Amino acid sequence: MKSLPFSAHGVTHNGCVRDHNEDALYIANGGPLFAVADGMGGHEHGEWASARVVEALSAVVPSGSFKRDTTAVSEAIHTANQIIFSADGVGSAHPGSTVVALLFAESRFAAFWAGDSRIYLKRGEHLVQLTRDHTHVQDLLARGAVTPAEAVNHPLGHVLVRVVGVEANLKLDAVTGSAQRRDRFILCSDGLTGVVKDAEIADAMEDSDAQRTAQSLLDLALSRGAPDNTTVVAVVCEEAKSASPRTPAAV
């Protein structure tokens, strides 16, 4: 079944403080699959972990069937989880990685994630964060234990409660929906969202050129000192049917 027409571009950078890049990105060659992974565990360990995530996803061969392809992407991320979790001799700090992955098939999309990397959808004038950060402070917000204002500079703001490779069994979240002509997506690591606000991301996504969108967001992060590795993948749907995204479900 023919995949949706789209354009995409990805950029990644060490940032202005780090001397190495533990982020990784994936854009399938001619295929409808995109991903960003943010590794952790110290120099080399994080790079190794994010590379395993991208390696597993790059082995997915989209068939055009939404059901088969979403299953394949989920299985690939779970495979990466087992490889990283079972790693020996990688170092004293156990590696791990966040992941966000975006798949298109049958005029639909599926977004997968674990950790605090994000996927945004801009439809018309509305920006929606499709993912929900797997952080301790986000859990506190969900329970009403802190206010949104208190969460902004909370000391546990970057403490992850879910990540690829840290536990034997990964709970991977996903949201699915039908794509629409002119839908625009951003996949990014927290190096972007740590210094660039959602409203600024929405403004950058006004540009229909994926390369300009991705580069402008990276440039904005760098102009603000980019204390972390920063990765951005911009995807623009050129033609599809319309519908609303569904609520997240574990897969």
- 87 falls within a domain: yes
- 152 falls within a domain: yes
Amino acid at 234: A
- How many domains are there within the chain? 1
Domain that holds residue 113: 6-242
Distance of alpha carbon 159 from alpha carbon 232, whole angstroms? 21
At residue 241, the pLDDT reads: 46
- 220 falls within a domain: yes
At residue 5, the pLDDT reads: 80
CATH number for the domain harbouring residue 18: 3.60.40.10
- 231 falls within a domain: yes
- 1 falls within a domain: no
At residue 244, the pLDDT reads: 53
At residue 177, the pLDDT reads: 96
Q: List Cα–Cα distances, 182 to 56, 74, 240, in angstroms.
A: 29, 26, 8
Buried b vs exposed e over 167-202: b needs ≥16 C-beta within 10 Å? eeebebbbbbbbbbeebbbbbbbbbbbbbbeeeebb
At residue 1, the pLDDT reads: 41
At residue 150, the pLDDT reads: 60
Say if residues 40 and 6 touch (Cβ distance below 8 Å): no
Length of the chain as a residue count: 251
Distance of alpha carbon 209 from alpha carbon 18, whole angstroms? 29
At residue 152, the pLDDT reads: 65
Here the tokens at position 54 are 């991208």
At residue 41, the pLDDT reads: 79
pLDDT along the chain (251 residues), means of 10: 76 95 93 94 84 98 95 98 83 84 96 98 97 80 65 69 94 96 96 96 97 98 97 86 52 53
Amino acid at 109: F
